[in-house]
């Protein structure tokens, strides 16, 4: 299945200007210029971050979208993939983030945690 839309989610206290995000952006521009690329600056609040991502990708076709997430972004990517039914690639994902992330206030925390801890459903490469 062809990917037409790619979402990159950075980690906690990171940004679209991180080394990984910039390398991904450069690669996408050089090798896949027709793919719609989004790497938003995520707010510290998990609730706000996922609401922003949901709004930004609402009209993206799930069957042609993918999400890449690094660290806490990898944790978020599991939630996006579960909600949208799209593919996800996780880079060193936070698998059980509880300390310092204020995730208790986010209603998607339980779903994302159960998803990432049940990695048997995913192909690990």
Per-residue model confidence as pLDDT tens digits over 53-107:
999 999 999 999 999 999 889 989 998 999 999 999 998 887 666 645 555 555 5
Report pLDDT for 114: 58
Full residue range of the structural domain in which residue 94 is found = 5-121
Query: What percent of the chain shows pLDDT beyond 70?
Result: 75
Any idea which residue has 């799209």 for tokens? Answer: 86
Task: Return d(Cα 72, Cα 62) in angstroms, integer.
Answer: 22
- 124 versus 30: the higher-pLDDT residue is 30
What's the structural domain count of the chain?
1
Write the CA distances from 47 to 1, 30, 60, 103, 121, integer angstroms. 31, 33, 20, 8, 25
Q: What CATH number did the domain enclosing 51 receive?
A: 3.40.50.1820
The partner residues of 89 in beta bridges, in order of sequence, read 68
pTM score, whole prediction: 0.79
Report pLDDT for 45: 83
pLDDT band at 115 (very low <50, low <70, confident <90, very high): low
Produce one character per residue of 25-57: b if its CB has 16 or more CB atoms within 10 Å, e if not: beebeeeeeebeebbbebeeebeebbeebeeeb
């Amino acid at each position: 299945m062809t990917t037409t839309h790619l979402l990159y989610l950075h980690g906690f206290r990171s940004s679209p200007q991180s080394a990984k995000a910039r390398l991904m952006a450069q690669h996408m521009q050089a090798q896949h210029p027709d793919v719609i690329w989004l790497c938003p600056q995520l707010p510290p609040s998990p609730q706000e971050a996922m609401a922003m991502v949901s709004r930004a990708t609402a009209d993206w076709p799930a069957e042609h979208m993918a999400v890449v997430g690094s660290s806490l972004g990898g944790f978020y990517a599991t939630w996006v993939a579960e909600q949208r039914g799209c593919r996800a690639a996780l880079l060193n994902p936070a698998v059980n983030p509880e300390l310092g992330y204020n995730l208790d206030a986010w209603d998607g925390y339980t779903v994302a945690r159960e998803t990432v801890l049940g990695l048997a459903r995913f192909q690990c490469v």
